[in-house]
Every structure is written in structure tokens, then in C-alpha cells.
Structure 1
Amino acid sequence: MITVESSLESDACYHLEFEKDISRFCSQSIKFTYYQDGNPHTHIPDFLVQFDSQEYVLYEIKSNDVALQRN
């Protein structure tokens, strides 16, 4: 069972589930710290995806409106 926080993430699960090159995926499974302007920030990506090629990719799911906003 995959836990998601939005309908967009739920939609993404559908696409990830049926993508033939993906061997598995999990939601919010990794947490990391990065530094911006010398300040630490913690982030938890929406999905960690493993492809058949053994490549791992982190995905962040956002609506177009949110993705196009500038801080």
C-alpha cells in the first residue's frame, strides 16, 4: 500500500504502477538535508523510483500552478 498526500500523487502512482521500465517505487521514503545560502533545509521527495536499469530517481509531484511559482 502506498500513502500519498494529494490526488496528484495518487494519479502519479497510477502512471508509475503501469510504466513497464519501473521495477518498484515507494512514497516519501527518503529524507535529506541540503544547504541554501548557508542555511540547512530538510526535504522529503514524493517518490523514490527504481527502474529496471537499477537507476533510482527521486520525483516531486506538483501542480503546474505551484511548479511555475517563483519564490
Structure 2
Amino acid sequence: MKKLIYGIGVLIAISACNQTNTTQSKTTDTISTSKNSIKYTCPMHPEIVKDKPGVCEKCGMELVKK
């Protein structure tokens, strides 16, 4: 019984590590197609979106590239 549980755990771990990362390719496509439309947003307030770097009006945190 212990071997069965161990085997299932190993299979779950392997399948979790075997997932492909598609975020990288999607981000690259977005950047290459829209270089002129870089937006900056607040990490804590995603509704704050600016065209230039700066600070959030609500909390004063530095805006990050979206």
C-alpha cells in the first residue's frame, strides 16, 4: 500500500514538473507587436494604468511595466 501511494506521489510530481511555460511566449508576442503601447500599473491597484513610469496616486508605490 505504501508503494502505491509513493508511486502515485511520484507520478503527480513528474506531471506537475512537466507542464510547459506558455507565459513567456505570449509575453514576447505582445511586446513585439505593441512596443509603442507600454503601460505601467500599480501592483496593489491594477485599475491605475499610465503610459509613463511614475507613482500610484492611491498608495505612492512605483508603477511597474504591464
- Structure having the larger proportion of residues in helix: 2
- TM norm. shorter chain > 0.5: no
Q: TM-score, normalised by structure 1?
A: 0.23
Q: Which structure's relative contact order is higher, taking Cα pairs within 8 Å and 6+ residues apart?
A: 1
- Structure having the larger proportion of residues in strand: 1
